Chain A
Amino acid sequence: MLLYVLRRIVFGAFVLIGTSIITFAIAFLVPADPAVAMAGAKADPQTLAMIRSQLGLDQPVYVQYARYLGRAVEGDLGRSYIRRESVTRLILERFPATLILAVSAMALALILAIPMGMLSAAYRERAPDNLLLVLSLALISVPVFWLGTLLLIAAALSLRSFPLGGYSGWKSLLLPALTLAFGLAGYYARILHTNLIEAMEQEYVRTARGKGLSRRRAMLKHAMANAILPLVTLAGLDLAGLLSGVVLTETVFDWPGIGRLAFDAIFNLDIPLIMGTVLFAAFLIVVANLAVDLLYAWLDPRIQLSGRG
């Protein structure tokens, strides 16, 4: 077990190093000169040279990368060129807003998806199933930013007391959370449906049915237990994805989260901030992956024997 845990951690670290190389390479491709960005276009050559040596930009690429990596390991992602603040602090400041939005959206998505998936599996290949299938495909196909805009329009036209964007109390949370939840719900409903149908055909469920259990009880008591686990895993991984910023939804609702931060950073070509937000996203996903793997290994002893996950 310990060996397995260690291996997963080494693997996660390896993936993070890979992502950091890719983000660093992209940052290196940026044609803009960071020194000019900081000092302004009219700065004299001496000032520019000074800034470059302060930032270490006069060093070879691999030295720059090694320094960056060394600091990143200690949690220091550099300073924003535009905002002149620590990137780590900027990200942590914005994190609570994204956390609230992501967790509520995920909860809403599961609340919608679980009954949808169960209903469509119960009425397999009959009218309710077909209807729900088309509904979930529709939910998957709606562009989030359009759905958000429509909800904003609806709120603006009908409910005058509703806040139209911004970050103030549960009312401002409802619309962006719903926007995000719909697409996810469509997707999860499909997955749960597939898992349930597979589980219903397993021997243990057939045995339970053979012993006289009704279809409904067999599904609720036996099939669900196995069908819901992969869904929870997926939701966990997706949650990590959402936590790293939901650019489109945060943009529509002017939500002060990490997605907005990343968006602004990209528009200002604020390289340390771009790299910081991308690496932070990768870090969350690696941690979520690790957590899910370990949870599985703990729940299901067979995984340790098969080794590689």
Chain B
Amino acid sequence: MELAGAVMVVSLALIAVFAPMIAPHDPGRAVANTFGDPGAPSHDFPMGTDQLGRDILSRIIFGAQVSLTVGVSAMLVTIVIGVTIGLLSGFFGGAIDFVLMRFTDIMLTLPALLLAMALVSVLRPSLISILMVIGLVSWTGVARVVRAETLSMAQRDFVLAARALGAPPRRLIVRHVFPNVMPIIVVMAVLGTSGTLLLDAGLSFLGLGVPPPTPSWGRMIEEATTYFRTAPWLAVFPGIAIFYAVLGFNLLGYGYLRRRGRESVSAPGKA
């Protein structure tokens, strides 16, 4: 399971990196002469063409670049925020813990998708604003897990010993607690990417994704809804791409957890 997930994620990364070489056509150019109608899948265009005569397969291949960039960078933002808050909160406890956790409670109460929509529309959609916003609304789960993990680490003998020897808090966190919390952070990062990918796809579907002409899977599905009677394939293929990417990260993350005999970490929410 883990292996299947890893193969899926790696294949996706390779497709994104080598998109210009793999894609049979230019994703931004009208290559089929269909006079404003979507074209059915054919020998030259295995997934058909859209209403502007652009090749769907090429657009999906190039779409992997944007989706992975946004998904992975947004995940890094959630990890940076979540790990910082979780470590500080779990390690120092007391007032710091109280303030940071009440802030986390407030953020947990705000609906992620609505908040992301509002923020993106205020900041205007762009690659940077979208990945920052997705990161800003998705870190709460990471913070809670890292805090819990840090709390249990801070009580372990090796940390207590280092503390007794007079190690300053900075050194205790960086050298002793952080490396031991690292495995769970990696798992949260992998699972978190499936969440950020879904959020990005949802925002694109709502017209709040990376602006055109950059191909984006979510927006391709949104554009396809106009033609869902006459050209259903337009909606089918980009969705398979999103599903493949999200499932890859989920299989990788949950597969690892299952092998380690640790079934659940808080999963990303769905709206």
Chain A residues within CB distance 8 Å of chain B = 14-16, 18-19, 22-23, 26, 29-31, 130, 133-134, 137-138, 140-146, 149-150, 152-153, 156-157, 183-184, 187, 190-191, 193-194, 197, 238, 241-242, 244-248, 251-252, 262-263, 266-267, 269, 274, 277-278, 281-282, 285-286
Contact = CB atoms under 8 A, between A and B. Distances in A.
B44 to A, nearest CB: 24
Contacts, number: 156
Nearest to A16: B109
B165 interface: no
Given A190-B264, A277-B114, A248 B205 contact: yes
A149 B246 contact: no
Contacts of B1: 130, 133-134
Contact of B121 (A156, A183, A266, A281): A266
Interface stretch (B22-30, B31-39, B175-183, B222-230): B222-230
B202 to A, nearest CB: 5
Contacts of B270: 140, 144, 183-184, 187
Contacts of A251: 205-206
B187 to A, nearest CB: 14
Contact of A281 (B111, B239, B267): B111
Interface string B204-241: 01110000000000100100110011001001101100
A149 B224 contact: yes
B243 interface: yes
A251 B225 CA distance: 11
B242 interface: yes
A285 B110 CA distance: 8
Q: What 9 pairs across the A-B complex have the smallest Cβ distances?
A: A146-B239, A18-B106, A141-B247, A141-B246, A194-B263, A281-B111, A153-B232, A282-B109, A145-B205
Q: Which of B106, B113, B115, B247 has the most CB of A within 10 A?
A: B106
Contacts of B239: 143, 146, 149-150
B111 to A, nearest CB: 4
A187 B247 contact: no
B224 A241 contact: no
A134 B250 CA distance: 10
How would you classify the secondary structure of chain B's contact residues: helix, strand, loop or mixed? helix
A105 to B, nearest CB: 11
A146 B235 contact: yes
A145 B246 contact: no
9 contacts: A15-B106, A15-B109, A138-B243, A143-B202, A150-B235, A190-B263, A190-B264, A190-B267, A277-B114
Contacts of B115: 26, 278
B201 A143 contact: yes
B70 interface: no
B159 interface: no
Contacts of A281: 110-111, 114
B196 interface: no
Contacts of B267: 140, 187, 190
A137 B232 contact: no
Interface in B41-91: none
Contacts of B107: 22
B173 to A, nearest CB: 25
B102 A150 contact: no
How would you classify the secondary structure of chain A's contact residues: helix, strand, loop or mixed? helix
B254 interface: yes
Contacts of B121: 266-267, 269
B140 interface: no
B144 to A, nearest CB: 14
Contacts of B194: 140-141
A248 B271 contact: yes
Contacts of B236: 150, 153
Contacts of B106: 15, 18-19, 22
Contacts of A278: 110-111, 114-115, 118
B31 to A, nearest CB: 25
B110 A282 contact: yes
A137 B264 contact: no
B122 interface: yes
A247 B271 contact: yes
A73 to B, nearest CB: 17
Contacts of A274: 118
A137 B194 CA distance: 11
B142 interface: no
A237 to B, nearest CB: 10
B121 to A, nearest CB: 5
Contact of B198 (A14, A143, A238, A263): A143
B134 interface: no
A241 B114 contact: no
